[in-house]
Structure 1
């Protein structure tokens, strides 16, 4: 079905850096080869169904500002219209993937049986629109944070009935993801945390969350889902403290419950900032532990203290993020999902297209800068130089020694080291050459 929402907007084409057309790609050339792969295959862009189509433009101080032909999102006819418009936008942008929560696709029916029926109905409809040339599903997930039933968490809820509802919901979303050929399944614990310790049993909630995730992994194998299970770190908002605080916390959690070989991480730029980290830090840490799965690309407003989910516009930040993605071997089943939304005042259909065009160009510029730094080898050379003494036999022997043996070595050789420069400014200047 063809709608009129994007009337007058043609498919976006790559026209090069000199183009002044705001609806053209100046840097994103899907066929350009970057480190041996097509740019499209390196970036693996995905559109987020929730921010692009389900979000209505509200904020904590005001209601919706968007007027869309599928509003209000309260029946299946409008859900199908929303899907029609989504696939029109995918065609205009030429993106290879999309992502969804179940609540983005269909209205909540108030009970699980009808939620399951409408989820199956709308995902069958989406499946009918997918073919060999259409975008694929990067990942699906369950929204277990918006409805009032989730106010005290899902898998960590003190009420076993809520745990049961959550388990059934995730099963339904995994089934839908599998049916649509999804390449990953994501769990983001939006309210898996606490608001006060006065009424919270930490050990009980963490154990239940660990058991829940183990059930998810077991079910993955039962249905033959070959994609990757991902969890998404976030420190706070809406909960005061969330159990998936950051990459390091998630790694510790997965190891505690024996899931470190089964689950990887979906890392969001905005969440990294809220946790007090940089995006590249979180990516590099996950990659160093073999747990980098996928990324949500966006940015926060640094003058606001919350997760504003804006489209990326900072090439140096994006370049360093992709440097660590490429350095780790690039994405396998993961990709770059735009977990980003328009500003409340950007109410036109063309704004939705332009936002993605600009973000895709920013990512392409960052990717090419990352490729240039890897090919030049300057950062890697300085890294090897800084740690080269740890490859010497006496250093390796020391790691297998005791404190007593090392103390004796210091005394015998009169070891009294002088500090060595980290050359941070030189390295920052080096990066600036490429961005």
Structure 2
């Protein structure tokens, strides 16, 4: 990584490049587990984890909540003109990326550029900021993991974007999708994400769900076709979420999205971007939604965060639970990695965290949590009996009648005859506690 880029001014003074100092360090501004160049198997940690910082929470979120205004005051917001403020924020963002040492970032269109109701002004603003971002990428070596469009914040999208019952709104949404795809290609983005923030319904009384879902598929198909036509070769990603802001969202969870993509013939171009907090809101574990996506060959990227077990909404906290990160990395390692996706910190510091270094502390903790999760998951898969135990549970399907069953060589009558011949099955323990103990053992090493 090159020397941290500094624009007209330094926005995080007193903080230099974050070093790796190891687990014995008590320096809060140092990595304890994330050593970018450390080899885990055949890849470095940086290659396995492909960390990205999100533009929206890190540089746009003011700490507001439903009960009060923002608590943070960003130095780049002293600029009064919207475009000048966006330029200053861009400089601050790239200073942060390079000091933290992440290889990637992600953004929504109106995170980076000032929004405008006038289409021409909106497009002009985004093109201006993309040109500057391209210069910053060249100067720092930081790359774009994925781009996307914010189709949920503006009041015009209160009833959805691609699934809106008003065709004029669907057309206006296409403006942003086209511009964000152009921006992603111009910046060399590896992926493009669709988060259907309001693609769903508040009430079925006034909703034609079948028609809206067909419109959603048509819209995604048009976006795919346009993206391919301008040279985008990466993955299109859909990010599942069950509810909030809508009562029900059409991209509910991994299984729902997989079925939708397969139904509409989109599974060859689209994959899933799984967010931990969204999985738990759907009543699943983070690992479950990752595994379902991976089983379908659709796990493309990850939004790394966590929720609060006491709160039933999307709190977007930085990840710190090592059991979650171990489980996630087990899925990722088994499928051979995430590239061209990565681990994006779609997480925000708490409303009460208002110092400039809090943003560094939060990302350092999240990166260390996943780095440790990677180490433990790799150890479990390569230096423990973990995978052999799992294989042994299914050994009865490896040969004989069990194998014939998997190969579709048996009928239901054949199964009955075998059950009569074999008698009552021997009870076999699942040994769940043995696996849990093994995780704890490897976490302690």
Q: Same fold (TM over 0.5)?
A: yes
Matches for 1:251-290 after TM superposition, within 5 Å: 251-290=258-297
Q: Equivalent residue of 2:75, what SS?
A: coil
Q: Equivalent residue of 1:290, what SS?
A: coil
Consecutive unaligned residues in structure 2, runs of 5 or more? 1-6
Deviates more, 1:42-51 or 1:358-367: 358-367
Residue 212, structure 1, aligned to residue 219, structure 2: yes
2:324 is matched with 317
Matches for 1:37-186 after TM superposition, within 5 Å: 37-71=43-77, 75-131=82-138, 133-186=140-193
Deviates more, 1:117-126 or 1:372-381: 372-381
Consecutive unaligned residues in structure 1, runs of 5 or more? none
Please, which of 3, 9, 13 is the counterpart of residue 3 of structure 1? 9
Mapped to 2, the partners of 1:106 and 1:133 lie a distance apart of: 20
Q: Equivalent residue of 1:277, what SS?
A: coil
Q: Equivalent residue of 2:69, what SS?
A: coil
The verdict on how the C-alpha distance between 1:272 and 1:74 changes in structure 2, with shifts beyond 3 A counting, is farther
Displacement of 1:432 in angstroms is 1.2
Deviates more, 1:417-426 or 1:176-185: 417-426
CA contact (8 A) 1:234 1:244 kept: yes
Mapped to 2, the partners of 1:269 and 1:227 lie a distance apart of: 23
Residue 387, structure 1, aligned to residue 394, structure 2: yes
Matches for 1:231-246 after TM superposition, within 5 Å: 231-246=238-253
Matches for 1:272-421 after TM superposition, within 5 Å: 272-398=279-405, 399-411=408-420, 413-421=421-429
The verdict on how the C-alpha distance between 1:387 and 1:320 changes in structure 2, with shifts beyond 3 A counting, is same
Displacement of 1:133 in angstroms is 4.6
Counting matched residue pairs gives 434
The verdict on how the C-alpha distance between 1:380 and 1:89 changes in structure 2, with shifts beyond 3 A counting, is same
1:334-377 CA-to-partner distances (Å, cap 9, x unmatched) read 00000000111111111111111111111111111111111124
Displacement of 1:249 in angstroms is 0.4
CA contact (8 A) 2:329 2:377 kept: yes
CA contact (8 A) 2:11 2:95 kept: no
1:184-224 CA-to-partner distances (Å, cap 9, x unmatched) read 00000000000000100010000000111111221222111
1:36 is matched with 42
Displacement of 1:5 in angstroms is 2.1
Displacement of 1:407 in angstroms is 2.4
Q: Equivalent residue of 1:145, what SS?
A: coil
2:3 is matched with none
Displacement of 1:169 in angstroms is 1.1
2:4 is matched with none
Q: Equivalent residue of 2:300, what SS?
A: strand
1:194 is matched with 201
Residue 431, structure 1, aligned to residue 439, structure 2: yes
2:25 is matched with 19
1:390-415 CA-to-partner distances (Å, cap 9, x unmatched) read 1113123233322233323433x153
Q: Equivalent residue of 1:130, what SS?
A: helix
Mapped to 2, the partners of 1:354 and 1:238 lie a distance apart of: 29
Please, which of 214, 231, 234 is the counterpart of residue 224 of structure 1? 231
Displacement of 1:77 in angstroms is 0.4
Q: Equivalent residue of 1:70, what SS?
A: helix
CA contact (8 A) 1:106 1:118 kept: yes
Q: Equivalent residue of 1:369, what SS?
A: helix
CA contact (8 A) 1:74 1:107 kept: no
Q: RMSD of the TM alignment (CA)?
A: 1.3
Mapped to 1, the partners of 2:51 and 2:28 lie a distance apart of: 19
1:222-270 CA-to-partner distances (Å, cap 9, x unmatched) read 1111111100000001000000000000001001101112110000000
Mapped to 2, the partners of 1:254 and 1:428 lie a distance apart of: 35
